[in-house]
Structure formats: C-alpha cells, structure tokens
Structure 1
C-alpha cells in the first residue's frame, strides 16, 4: 500500500523548535477510518513523533511557555490533548474530554485558551475557555474557523457566512464584515490594526469597523504580520504580501497553509515547512523527513 503524507499546522518560534500537525493516510480520498493524525516536535532541528492516532486531530497551538494544545474533533469523541511539550523523547499527554466536536484551538497564554466547534449534546455551535484550571462553556459567536487576539480582553473570531466577532473579556460582539463568504484567517495586531482573509480576498479593520482591501488571485487561507509586512497564506498561489490594495507574490513555490510569526516567520505547506528571519529568504524542511520518521511504523487502521 502506497501511503500519502502531508503537513497541516505548525506552531513555534522557528524551524528548529516547533510543533507540527501532520497526516498519514492510505493515499485514497481522505476518510477518517483510513487516516492518522500525527503530532511531531522539532527540537534542535530533529523531528520526534509525540503522538499518533486514527481520526482527525483538528488544530494545534503552542503557548509561550511551550505547552502544547491539540484539538480533537472526530466521530468518537471531542476535546483537547495537552502536553508540557518539554522532552520530545518522553512525551506526556493528558486528554481533556469536552462535549464538543473541537475544530480548533488557540490561546493568549496558559490561562486563556479557546476551543470551538459543534456541540455534541445540543444542536448548536459551542466554545470552551480554559483558565489554567478548568474548561468553562462560553457562548459561541457562530460557526468559528479561526481565532486570534492580543489579550484575554481583545480577541477576534472569524468563520462561516462572513462571521467577524470581538471578545471583550466577557462576551462576543459580532460586527458587519461586508461579505457572506467564509473567512478562514484572522490576525490581530492591535485595536487599530486587524486583518481577515477568506476565499474571496482580504479585509482590513480596526475596533471601529472593517472594509474590503483586495480580491485574491485564488484561495487564501491565513494571514499574519511579520517585520511590518502583512503576509497571506495563498495555498496554490504561494506566500503572498499585501502591498497597498494588491496581493503580490513573495515565494510562489511555498504553498502556504498555516503560519506562526511569534519568532521567525514559520510556514507550513503540505509538502514542506519553512522559516525566515526577513520574510524573503527561507530555510526548508521537506516532507520526506516526516515520511522517514514514520516509515516502518505500522498503520493503525
């Protein structure tokens, strides 16, 4: 059987020190019963397999302390896997089950983490907040896809049907977004500088409102700011830069899907990982390293 592999998420300060969410499946159209999700840690430039399971691990976020949060939203259960993330040779995991098909996870620090997705016990969207001790159910602003913010009192969520909503520390405030298209990326730089993106392009905003900036040349899925430049993950269009009211290519060969700009700019594409100190020159880590890491490990389905 010829297996297929792909990177999906990356979180961490550099290509030498990060956590990755990756997939291995039977090479056919993806179905949960014939696929594995893998959590991999890169330490000192070397990959270590931390966790693997049949089914869908949906999101990964590494806190500033190095603690790792991984969301699970499969058909059997939902919740968050948590690891101290310290020693890749002796990984430790705790699963915190929630009545939620958890579709993503993100936080400010270890005392403010959010996860979201359809409720398992009710026909509605749900969201839970971690305060460092326990998970608390809070109202969901809608069908959330991504969350980002700068403090527990200033967080934005975007999602389906043009959803843009702001968390003020106690509740969500949904604001006009001038689109009904699905929004997949959000970056909060400050109260005066916000960016969102989706299949139809980019929007720019502040706490006072949003406006459309530019239509994209194709699908765009994520946005961040790095070294005073707004960078956009353009998937098949590569890594893009917002320049005025246009999106121009930065690295066409890098089919960017996810980014982390808290240290170096770290980028995940299905076929490789990359990082950069200036947003122009990139180091690369090919998918073949993940393939070699898992080669000889029997499939779990």
Structure 2
C-alpha cells in the first residue's frame, strides 16, 4: 500500500521561508506506531527535512529570532519541547527539553516567554510550563488548553475544551465566560479591544471586557487570524473563510486550510499543499509532492 503524506502546520513569513509539520504513515490510517512526524523547513524556496520520529510532534512555533520550538506529546516517547536555533537547514541542531507532560502545544512571545501545555504525566491534571530563556517553570493551567495567543506578558489568552477562554495577567490565569461548551481551537488577539476565537461552533469576538458569539460556521473551523484588516478563518472542508459582519463568506474554497500564519504574507497549510498571498486573493502554491519526493528514499522508521 502506498505511504500516506500530509502537511499539518505551518509557521513563517512566506512559503519560500517557513517551517512546517508534516506526517508520513503506512497508508492505512495514522496510528502512532506506524507513522512519523516530520519537521520541515523551506529556505530560499528549497525544502529541507530537519527532524523526524515515530510518534506525535504536536505543535510548532517560531520565535522572532528564528528559533524553532516543537512540542512532543508521545505516549511511547514522553513529552517535552524540541528547540533549534533554526540557522542552517542543511545541518539542523536540536536540543530536547523533557517536561513532565505530554505537550500538545507550544507558543510564545519571544525567547524569554514561551508556553507549553498538555496532560501531566506525574499528576492527573492538565499542566503548563513557561520558558524564561534559561529554564522551564510550572505555572497554573486554566484547563484543557488547545491554543494560545497574545501580545504582551500580561495580555495572553488561552482557549480549549468545554468552551475554555482564560486570560493570563502576568501572574495568573483568569477564567472568562464564553457562553459555549464547544471546544475552541483557535485564538487571535489583535488588541485589547479586538480578539477572536473559533471552534466547532463558529467564531466568537471579544475584548478584555467580554466575549460574544458572532456567527455559526458552515463546518469545522480550526484557526483564526487578522491579515490586512480582514479576519480570516481556517475552514478545513469549507476552505479559507472571511468574517464579514455577522457572516462567514468563502475567500478561497479550493484551500481546505488547517493552519495559518500572517506575520508578512498570509501563509496557509492544507493537507495537500502550502500557499501564500499578499492580498488574500491571488495565491502562490507549493504542492505536497515536494515533501513526498524529498522523503521518498528515506526508509520508514516503524
């Protein structure tokens, strides 16, 4: 049976300069013992493999300095954060920071404020750790976190299961009423007065003063971001969507987006391709076949 391949997450300013998580499996369905997670870098338009392993690499974040953080939450390998300076894609260097949790995500402001979260392996509770540039320190966890975003050490929001929305004020998490029990998978903080969260139920809008539901989605939505004044939503099977007033309108139906970045160009990942745009209308595309060709002669690890 042919191997299965897919892109999963992308972070970076363009599809010519980015990092991504990709998967390769036995073609029968993603099972941890018969599948690999890959960290891939595109530099000057050329694709490089940086790291691969059997098991689950769950999250990806690239700091403003270019350092790369990848979360690991594998039942067989344990949990923690892989860190790379991200300087030379032809000779990648990695350090693994083991943590007592199956890390399901990682995000930060800079290399002195990085958060990792997931189920603790030493306690029957969800955990969160903060990297301060020298060491990881446990901090309280507001619940089953899925995604985190913010603008400053005292303006960070987390969303997650059972409608979780919480604000970090620099020293502790404060739960925020969200008026939903649906899982929230995406959060984007544009300012104190403009924030968005999304999940299976649709898109919510908020501020430091509170949250309200804006619109129900036509299907599952995974991430939300702001780009050049537009609020864009990763609609998976519904394509790339744009929030206009109290409705979601198709922006690019041919892109079943699962992951987005908006630091320079709008950069998106679908299972089958990467794409970017300067205007949200005309897209450059990089097909999955480039990853397939890159790994074709590399033996599977299971």
TM-score range, shorter chain: over 0.9
Corresponding residue for residue 219 of structure 1: 220
**Counterparts of 1:241 and 1:33, CA distance in 2:** 38
Match of 2:40 in 1: 40
SS of the aligned residue for 2:171 comes to coil
State yes or no: 1:250 paired with 2:251: yes
Corresponding residue for 2:28?
28
Listed as ranges, the gaps of 5+ residues in structure 2 are: none
TM-score (norm 2): 0.99
1:205-230 deviation digits (Å, cap 9, x = unpaired): 00000001000011101000000000
Structure 1 partner of 2:62: 62
Question: What's the CA shift string for 1:11-41, capped at 9, x where partnerless?
Answer: 1111111001000000112110000000000
Matched, 1:17 2:14: no
User: Counterpart in 2 of 1:99?
Assistant: 100
2:286 matched residue in structure 1 = 285
Q: Where does 1:1-301 land on structure 2 (aligned, <5 Å)?
A: 1-75=1-75, 76-301=77-302
After superposition, the CA RMSD in angstroms is: 0.5
State TM-score, norm by structure 1.
Answer: 0.99
Distance 1:135 1:276 in 2: 36
Q: 1 CA distance for matches of 2:69 and 2:229?
A: 28
Q: CA deviation at 1:152?
A: 1.3
Tell me the secondary structure at the aligned position of residue 33 of structure 2.
Answer: helix
Please give the secondary structure, in 2, of the residue aligned with 1:291. Answer: helix
What SS does the aligned partner of 1:155 have?
Answer: strand
Q: What is the SS of the residue equivalent to 1:292? A: helix
Q: Deviations over 1:75-97 (max 9, x none)?
A: 12100000000100010000000
What's the CA shift for 1:263? 1.1
Q: Secondary structure at the match of 2:256?
A: coil
Q: C-alpha separation between the residues in 2 aligned to 1:142 and 1:131?
A: 22
Deviations 1:214-269 (A, max 9, x none): 00011101000000000000000000000000000000000100101011110011
Q: Cα offset for 1:151?
A: 1.0
Displacement after TM superposition at 1:279 (Å): 1.1
Question: Structure 1 unaligned runs (5+)?
Answer: none
